[in-house]
Amino acid sequence: MSDVTVDVFELGSEHEQVVFCNDAATGLKAIVAIHSTALGPALGGTRFYPYASTADAIQDVLNLSRGMSYKASLAGLDLGGGKAVIIGDPATLKSEALLRAYGRFVQSLGGRYYTACDVGTFSADMDDVARECSYVTGRTVAHGGAGDSSVLTAYGVFEGMRAAAEVAWGAPSVAGRVVGVAGVGKVGRHLVRHLIEDGASVVVTDVHRPSVERVLDEFPQVTVAGSTEELVATPLDIYAPCALGGALTDEVVEVLSARIVCGAANNQLAHPGVEKMLEERGVLYAPDYCVNSGGLIQVADELEGFSFDRAQQRASGIFDTTRNVFELAARDGVPPAVAADRLAERRMRDVGRLRGIWLSNGA
Ligand SMILES: NC(=O)c1ccc[n+]([C@@H]2O[C@H](COP(=O)([O-])OP(=O)(O)OC[C@H]3O[C@@H](n4cnc5c(N)ncnc54)[C@H](O)[C@@H]3O)[C@@H](O)[C@H]2O)c1
């Protein structure tokens, strides 16, 4: 990808605004992409990552910001979709001055974009960004923030999985089922707890051995597969991809024995068309952005002054949302991934158009 010329207007033809931010003294090179503000200010995290090229960074921020519009819409939030990337290795480049410079650029957008954590950024970084900027969420608990968003992400994935189980087996429970979890990091670990508590047998895998050990310390009954390839080839009722994107390749779908796929990872479908392959093989796919919106719900709640109970209550709605997606898919005769897009687009259109009713306060 890195040697390809990227036309930002072509690739971002659906996007409202893309902002390039440069501060040579701190080494800050950031791109903020606002996909849609149809439902409210764009919200999405800041990914701090050593992209091989600016073209790669542009591609990533455009894809990610679009995904956030759909996620926020389907989750019923009054938020649009945006995302930011900072180009560079966070281990060597991140500094207070860089984060504050970034904060000033986000501030300059006047609230059209709210930032949060993502790969390479943490709640403490958001505290630094917030020293220059009012439009920050995902801050530390000490600063009134929501803290670790993986708690409600895992909870939401579990709720989505229960809705899928109801469709597949008639009861909203994973009791007695075998669930494979690929990636037991922040989200996967919490998900394992929900699964065990509900009575499932759990098989995990992770490339990072300490993450596996941590799960085994807590739940000795969990079994371990040597690799993701080994996990997907074992007999499973449910497969939960909780590591990186692109988990559902043609090869994986071909060997998968699971009846349900439901996990936390973003962008699980390796390419368009995989959703049809899953359907043809009788696999019920719970769309990633439908079931993994618990973290977004958690940080969005912070904008009202964080209440964990209120956020958890809202995240429990992922059960009904997932059920609605499956219902629409059955009614329209389309894969659930297509149904989720239709529901998200419908809300952006129907609620977004209300801004056309003029109010004297300019809202
Ligand atoms: N944290 C959240 O609130 C949140 C919200 C929405 C979506 N997600 C998505 O969920 C996924 C997991 O997020 P996380 O916060 O738990 O990240 P994490 O980095 O804490 O955990 C990911 C785990 O996957 C493991 N892993 C990486 N490559 C692997 C491979 N090839 N095979 C097996 N394991 C592998 C890593 O070692 C790590 O333990 C990501 O795709 C993330 O984008 C997270």
Region at 182 (left for phi over 0; alpha for psi -120 to 50; beta for the rest): beta
Span of 141-155, 252-266, 349-363 with lowest mean pLDDT: 349-363
Report how far ligand 1's centroid is from the alpha carbon of 182 (Å): 9
CB-ligand 1 contact for 52 (6 Å cutoff): no
- Running DSSP on this structure, what letter comes out for residue 143? G
Report how far ligand 1's centroid is from the alpha carbon of 244 (Å): 6
Report how far ligand 1's centroid is from the alpha carbon of 183 (Å): 6
Cα pseudo-dihedral 82, 157, 246, 126, rounded to 10: 40
Mean pLDDT of 10-33: 97
Contact between residue 242 and residue 187 where contact means Cβ atoms under 8 Å apart: yes
The pTM assigned to this predicted structure is 0.93
Nearest to 155 by CA among 130, 124, 189, 127: 189
Q: What is the CA radius of gyration of the chain?
A: 20
Q: What is the pLDDT of residues 179-196, one digit of tens each?
A: 999 999 999 999 999 999
Q: Which atom of ligand 1 is nearest to the CA of 150?
A: 3
Question: Can you tell me the distance from the alpha carbon of 289 to that of 340, in angstroms, rounded to the nearest whole number?
Answer: 9
Structure tokens at 41: 């200010």
CB-ligand 1 contact for 123 (6 Å cutoff): no
Residue nearest to atom 40 of ligand 1 (CA): 265
* Mean pLDDT over each residue of the chain, to the nearest integer: 95
Confidence of residue 363 (pLDDT cuts 50, 70, 90): low
Residue reference for tokens 């940080």:
299
Model pLDDT, residue 4? 63
Ligand 1 pocket test: pick from 64, 206, 252, 318 the residue with the most ligand atoms within 8 Å of its Cβ.
206
At 353 the three-state DSSP class reads: helix
Q: What is the pLDDT of residues 109-168, one digit of tens each?
A: 999 999 999 989 999 999 999 999 999 999 999 998 988 889 999 999 999 999 999 999
Catalytic, 186? Answer no
Report strand pairing: 42-49 vs 80-87: parallel
Structure tokens at 16: 């409202």
